[in-house]
Amino acid sequence: MKNKIITIDGPAASGKEKISKYISSKWKFKHLDSGVLYRRLALILLEAKVNTNNVFEIKKKINQISTISYRKTKKIRTQRISQLASKIAIYSFVREYINKLQYNFVKKNKNKQGFVIDGRDIGSVVFKKADLKLYIEVKPEIRAKRRYKQLIDSGEKSIYPKILKEIKLRDKKDKQRKHSPLVIPKGAHIIDNNGSFRKTVKNITELLEKNLK
């Protein structure tokens, strides 16, 4: 079972990370969260005060970057970075740059058991020939409720209607952009994650055992 690739696509806050982490630890697959790369690039642009309405300025900055970190820190989880990542993700040159980083990641780790890679276009564009494709589906209201609880539990201030509005706005941006919009990839298995995580895990385990022999 070497070098298998599992792709996980789905909208914001649909539980892709939790599902990826579960697969990664149970099957010893290397996890790559492609959203981190978009978020990291957004942070670089923000800190360098790049005008993100100007494609030439973004291109110039990308040409100056030697590497992008894969680290998940609190700094890249803010609402400002979520929105900026979604904004710059519309540009094809940004997507090509991030896709290259993903291909390098797989190349560098090719002695690993396999990979679980999550994002918006992984099964539809980046790894079209993946061994198994999953698409996670959860209603916006449930996603907003979960995100709201997460923020309150971690001691942050949060307003449910505001979160729901932001989630719907990000869905619209991710689904309606011209390049690599969020779609259900051809051949993907749809995973209903509206219910308990235990139920989702049960479905995924059955699917993986059947498909990854």
Q: Does 31 engage in binding with ligand DC (CB under 6 A)?
A: no
CA angle 39, 191, 5 (to 5 degrees): 60
79-88 vs 160-176: helix crossing angle, rounded to 10 = 10
Site string for ligand DC, 173-192 (x = CB under 6 A): -x------------------
- Shortest Å, Cβ 119 to ligand DC: 2
Q: Does 89 engage in binding with ligand DC (CB under 6 A)?
A: yes
Residue closer to ligand DC by CB (options 53, 111) is 53
- Shortest Å, Cβ 197 to ligand DC: 18
Q: Which of residues 116-175 bind ligand DC (CB under 6 A)?
A: 119-122, 170, 174
Q: How many CB atoms lie within 10 A of CB 2?
A: 8
Options 12, 23, 134, 136; binder of ligand DC; rule CB under 6 A? 12
Q: Spell out the alpha helix ranges (H) of the chain.
A: 16-27, 34-47, 55-64, 79-88, 92-108, 140-153, 160-176, 197-211
- Shortest Å, Cβ 6 to ligand DC: 14
197-211 vs 16-27: helix crossing angle, rounded to 10 = 50
- Shortest Å, Cβ 182 to ligand DC: 7
Number of residues in contact with ligand DC, rule: CB under 6 A?
15
Q: Does 86 engage in binding with ligand DC (CB under 6 A)?
A: yes
Asked if 168 contacts 86 with a C-beta cutoff of 8 angstroms, the reply is no
Give the N- to C-terminal CA distance of the chain in Å, as an integer: 7
Only segment of 114-122, 138-146, 159-167, 205-213 that touches ligand DC (CB under 6 A): 114-122
The closest of 124, 139, 127 to 188, measured between CA atoms, is 124
Q: Does 85 engage in binding with ligand DC (CB under 6 A)?
A: yes
How far is it, in rounded angstroms, from Cα 110 to Cα 204?
24
Q: Where do contacts with ligand DC occur on this chain (CB under 6 A)?
A: 12, 34-35, 38-39, 82, 85-86, 89, 119-122, 170, 174
